Structure 1
Amino acid sequence: MMVNVRVQRLQEQIKKELGVLLQQELKDPGIGFTTVTGVELSGDLKFAKVYISVMGDASQEEVALSALKRAQGFLRSELGRRIPMRYIPELLFKLDHSLDYGMRIEQMLKEIKDEKEGQTEDPAP
């Protein structure tokens, strides 16, 4: 599905503003090292899926998600002050595991490379 330019710009602006809000405005220690990795707006702009990445284990991810749900009202009101929109979308926070997946693949490739280098260094007698 082709997303129009206005929606793409709004998604990027919401992502940027939420990133700033999470890093500088929210004082909740449960949020920790949380990064906004993407935003997907619905067609009517009433809902925004906010994809986040949390540095840590599954329990830290759950703590961060619950902290973000508690802060949803504050985040929406701040977005309303910073972004001129008729309606500020409801924020739905989702975990983004793509960074973990990418790091895991990179680690596997490194292991394969190390194995191959180890095999070429040991000449057959």
Structure 2
Amino acid sequence: MRKNSIKNTRINGEVQRELSRIISREIKDPRIAPMTSVVDAVVTSDLKQCKAYISVLGDQKAKEDTLNGLRSAVGYIRRELAHSINLRNTPEITFILDDSIEYGVEMSKKIDELNK
């Protein structure tokens, strides 16, 4: 059981790195914001599903446009992922918006204001 979780953690990290690379360097969709990062990738142990948590720096429209752009390019992204990572199955990717970085920046600003 423990061995599987270590392997799964390694796969998650590898998928996250590759998704970041593919999104930042390979996709030319103008809807995808330049400041888009893959915060986390969680692949199920059977390698069938992957939840990719995406952070987008920008307003709500930029976030929605980026998600739409990623969803329309999901076939291409999955193919690229299959080429770069040698897995038994290439998972179906679901993109989920993650506002944790933005929330952290906002909290940091509030703390700075309180300290002044």
Larger radius of gyration: 1
The reply to whether residue 65 of structure 1 matches residue 67 of structure 2 is yes
Q: For residue 94 of structure 1, what is the amino acid of its counterpart?
A: I
Identical columns (%) = 35
Given the two structures, how large is their TM-score scaled by the length of structure 2? 0.93
RMSD, matched Cα: 1.2
* CA distance in 1: counterparts of 2:21 and 2:46, whole angstroms: 25
Runs of 4+, deviation exceeding 2 Å: none
Q: For residue 6 of structure 2, what is the amino acid of its counterpart?
A: V
Structure 2 residue ranges without an equivalent (≥5): none
Q: Say which of 42, 45, 62 aligns to 2:44.
A: 42
2:84 aligns with 82
* CA distance in 1: counterparts of 2:57 and 2:31, whole angstroms: 12
> Deviations 1:56-89 (Å, cap 9, x if unpaired)?
1111100000000010000101110110111100
2:19 aligns with 18
1:93 aligns with 95
Shifted more, 61-70 versus 29-38: the winner is: 29-38
Higher relative CO (Cα under 8 Å, sequence separation at least 6) belongs to 2
* CA distance in 2: counterparts of 1:20 and 1:44, whole angstroms: 24
Structure 1 residue ranges without an equivalent (≥5): 115-125
Give the number of aligned pairs: 113
1:27 aligns with 28
* CA distance in 2: counterparts of 1:86 and 1:6, whole angstroms: 13
Q: Secondary structure at the match of 1:103?
A: helix
